[in-house]
A and B are shown apart, each in its own frame.
Chain A
Amino acid sequence: MLLFYLSFAIVLMVTDHRTDALGRLRQSAGLLLQPMYSLASLPASLAGEIAAGWHSRDQLQIERDAAQRELLVARAQLDRLQAVQRENQHLRELLGGTRGLQMGVQLANVVDVDLDPFRHRIVIDVGEQDGVRDGLALIDAHGVVGQVLSVSPTRSTVLLISDPSHGVPVQVVRTGLRVVAFGTGETDRLRLPNIPQSADIRVGDALVTSGLGGRFPAGLPVATVMSLRPDDTRLFVIAEATPSATLDRSGQLLLLWATEPTLEMGPPIELGDPTLRAQPDVDVASEDTGGDAAAREARR
Chain B
Amino acid sequence: MAILETIGLEKRFGGIVAAHDVSLAVEKGARHALIGPNGAGKTTVINLLTGVLKPTAGRIMLDGHDITALDPHQRVRLGMARTFQINQLFLDLTPLETIGLAVSERLGSGGDWWRLVGSKTAVTDEIVEIVERFRLADVMHERTAILPYGKQRLLEIALAFACRPHVLLLDEPAAGVPEAERHELLATIAALPAEVTVLLIEHDMDLVFSFADRISVLVNGSLFVDGAPEEVARDPRVKAVYLGEEADA
Chain B binds chain A: no
